[in-house]
Structure 1
């Protein structure tokens, strides 16, 4: 391991990055609020310490050497890691525990984030770190305390508890319905349907559920996540199938979205809370799981 005295100073490295970004000593000096001479001296000392030239000096300017080009991204990454570590430590200074929750993107953006402030107020010394992921969880022994996933309804998932079943609503924008009203099933023939990339079978299930005999026209772009389909609906690109608990508040409390024909269909999927066995009884996991369950019950009760 290098002696600390052999390592370049943070000041020298920040100066190197500034000069490399601008390819100008004078511009780097203005950015750093230093004199041009001070910048030039920092670079010279850094080059002497490294034993390698970082810049080629020419009459018409400077440019990075091959060594400088290789050194720059490594230094940028190292300083960013140092900044992240310091900022993260400062943010955690006022909390007693950290709870890491890994959720599917649509669950996070359309349901959890709009409600999470209630949990933060109730448990001010517990910081929640939200991450996103999707699909089956093959290893839950990592950093995550809680994982939430949408999976086919089943009883064999290890360490999993069903949070709610998924019921899908047909969703359209108010502007689109003003142009092409939907009063009965046959009116759907005039509309375009938004493909769900990860679960293309949903529209086939919808067709069978509503006994639709005519061909369904699909939009030319498929969407991986429900929150993406919702944005496409808002932009009048077609009709989507979206989970009731994610969109009911928007349908009830705004005039932007509608559920034409009051259509709802069980998808045979559910949202599961997955917790590693050894974390199941941790206080932070218990309070968040209880809060999730109560909030979900409230959402579904309000919708019904």
Structure 2
């Protein structure tokens, strides 16, 4: 059985780490807001308890012994584990339940994170844990309570509800269009287009639905996620196709524009998937209803 009396105190270990990081008793004392004598006393007591010297003391300074070098990373990691465990418990105070939501990176960064405060204000006792993932999931019965994915429109997804069909807009920065105006489809030839590496067919869909016959020039860098394309648009690197609900607020603020009002409905949709055994969960029900209402109002 572990004898806690044989373990060094947290205070002694924190002092050891401070001295080791600064290689100075005086600097460690300043960092810890204690006297240099208190620091020296803690380190000496720790060395005595361990039966090993942790520092070599010289006239021109100190340095870790080989034992001290071995001990430092293990103690630092152990204290970090304790700090994380304590912080997690404090965050969970007043929380009834934790809801784990796994979403695509762009859905998270461009829509959910700016909107999530409305859910937490309404349900303060539900703590939402956001994680990101992409692509179809063959098994959603893991640690996630809710999974949101952008998938080809279909009816065979298990325990999935269509949140919305994807509608893409042609998006540019206001400054870029001001420098090279787009008044007709022929003007698109003045610009470059940002490739969507995971769905390269999107630009062909735009050309087909808007009867664009001219070849278009692509930017030299392709982007995997919509949030990456948005950053490139903001830096005037080209035109992008982005989901309307992800850029609506920025367009209302006139940070972005939709040249020629060009948009189309892709063959994709955003699906909310819930494991079968969690369908009756209160936290899952409240979040999915909040999502549905948010998209019904947009």
Q: Distance in 2 between matches of 1:145 and 1:10?
A: 37
- The Cα shift of 1:4 comes to 1.5
1:125 maps to 2:143: no
Matches within 5 A, 1:10-29: 10-29=10-29
Are the equivalent residues in 1 in contact too, given 2:25–2:36 (CA < 8 A)?
Answer: yes
Q: Which residue of 2 aligns with 1:266?
A: 265
Q: Which residue of 2 aligns with 1:3?
A: 3
1:81 maps to 2:95: no
Q: Distance in 2 between matches of 1:9 and 1:198?
A: 53
- The Cα shift of 1:55 comes to 2.7
Are the equivalent residues in 1 in contact too, given 2:206–2:263 (CA < 8 A)?
Answer: no
1:201 maps to 2:195: no
Q: Distance in 2 between matches of 1:116 and 1:164?
A: 18
Q: Which residue of 2 aligns with 1:302?
A: none
- The Cα shift of 1:133 comes to 2.2
Matches within 5 A, 1:79-228: 79-228=79-228
- The Cα shift of 1:25 comes to 1.2
1:65 maps to 2:65: yes
CA-based RMSD:
2.0
Q: Distance in 1 between matches of 2:116 and 2:245?
A: 15
- The Cα shift of 1:138 comes to 4.0
Q: Distance in 2 between matches of 1:141 and 1:46?
A: 48
Q: TM-score, normalised by structure 2?
A: 0.92
Q: Distance in 2 between matches of 1:57 and 1:138?
A: 60
- The Cα shift of 1:129 comes to 2.0
The 3 A distance-change label for structure 1 pair 223 and 60 is: farther
Q: Distance in 1 between matches of 2:101 and 2:161?
A: 15
Q: Distance in 1 between matches of 2:211 and 2:55?
A: 72
Q: Distance in 2 between matches of 1:122 and 1:230?
A: 30
The 3 A distance-change label for structure 1 pair 176 and 99 is: same
Q: Which region of structure 1 is more displaced relative to structure 2, 102-111 or 67-76?
A: 67-76
Structure 1: runs of 5+ lacking an equivalent: 300-304
The 3 A distance-change label for structure 1 pair 82 and 140 is: farther
